[in-house]
Amino acid sequence: MGRNAQMRRSAYAEPDDHRRPLIGSVAIHGAKNSVLPILAAALLCQSPCVLHNCPQIEDVATALSILRRLGCRVERQGSTIFVDPRGLYACEVPPELARKMRSSVIFLGALTARTGQAAVALPGGCPLGARPIDLHRMALEALGAETALDAGKITCRMKKSRPARITFPFPSVGATENAMLAAMGCRGTVVLENAAREPEIADLAGFLRSAGAEIRGIGSGTLTIEGGKPLHGTDYTILPDRIETATYLCAAAACGGDVTLRQTDGQTLLPVLDALRASGCAITESPGILRIRAEGRRTSPGRIVTRPYPGFPTDAQALMMAAALRAEGETVFVETIFEDRLRHTAELRKMGAEICVHASTAIVRGVPVLHGAAVQAGDLRGGAALVAAALSAEGNSQVLGVKHIKRGYDRLEENLKSLGAAIKTVEIS
């Protein structure tokens, strides 16, 4: 497929609605935000690792390319990835690969723990605003490393590793992950306070424990790590992707219908489920299964404020906005994590959405009907929100910038088709 593609939905009309409801069942893939740090963590093992439930997405392909360029042997068969890190010979992530995704910075902590030094170009990925790495550097320096930032590249050299108690001023997911990985190379006890609590952090900790690490406090804001222990290869299964789950839930809320999601965990998405229920969706849960039924026009879920876990996830903000565009009443979205994560609102307005943006707040006034339009995806989750909005609109839509969406979704087009959506991806010259 080309760098840009169009996703179309044929016009569909009923007496009081213009949407084609989504009906059917979809299996959720492994979590993008788990598999990427876990692939970096595989560098710390002294023998091969086998990872199951790995999504086939562009960011994972980039991470595998990084591992190969560092000297690892990597094989993939479907959703299973084999990583043999014993051939590692390099400590610098190739800049052209580092700039392709945000998560490339996670190799900093892993390489430092494994080789004593590392170099990573400042990460790329979605343009969500500034990407400060000060918390990453603070954590690494507390563990005894010297860091430097020059010409768009951060370098790290472990001078003398030491135990430490690190208190994060903000529960940064990336900084917590880098500190966890770097701590594996430090002899003694490392305590991380105000650490991120996201399920993906717990998944990384679960992988490290399965490889022989000693980590306490998993799931809490305080992680205690006994560093310096040799890690062995392990067989590990990645947890389900909660943001992929949120994507299909919000698409169903936007379009109406009856959708069952398998191989997922609703307990990791409670704020999203609460908001959807507040908007009038019926959601039922059973082990590994979520079912959403959306009938008639939805109502506003009220006020959505993004927070670190267990708050409303920033990655679901744009998706919930797509679900609220045609809801009765006014919905307020307050983005507290990324300063530039409301860029998708300008594209949604092209479809007839009524959205006013003031700094980090977006006010959505529901409209009866959206209309098809040509829109540009500028980031991963905003792009998925545009697809959901297009599926709920009257007429044909074109969503360009599919490269962003393909970074984080496995078989999105195929799954939506299986639910009844009229959607296709085509090359554009």
Give me 199's structure tokens.
Answer: 């399920």
Q: What are phi and psi for residue 413, nearest 5 degrees?
A: -60, -50
Q: Which residue has the tokens 């009844």?
A: 420
* Alpha-helical runs (H) found in 287-379: 317-324, 344-349
Asked if residues 264 and 248 have their Cβ atoms less than 8 Å apart, the reply is no
Catalytic machinery residues: 126
Give me 76's structure tokens.
Answer: 């993939």
SS (H, E, C) 206-253: HHHHHCCCEEECCCCCEEEEEECCCECCCEEECCECHHHHHHHHHHHH
Residues 6+ apart with CB under 8 A from 285: 266, 273, 291
Q: What are phi and psi for residue 385, nearest 5 degrees?
A: -65, -40
Closest CA to 57 of 389, 407, 300: 407
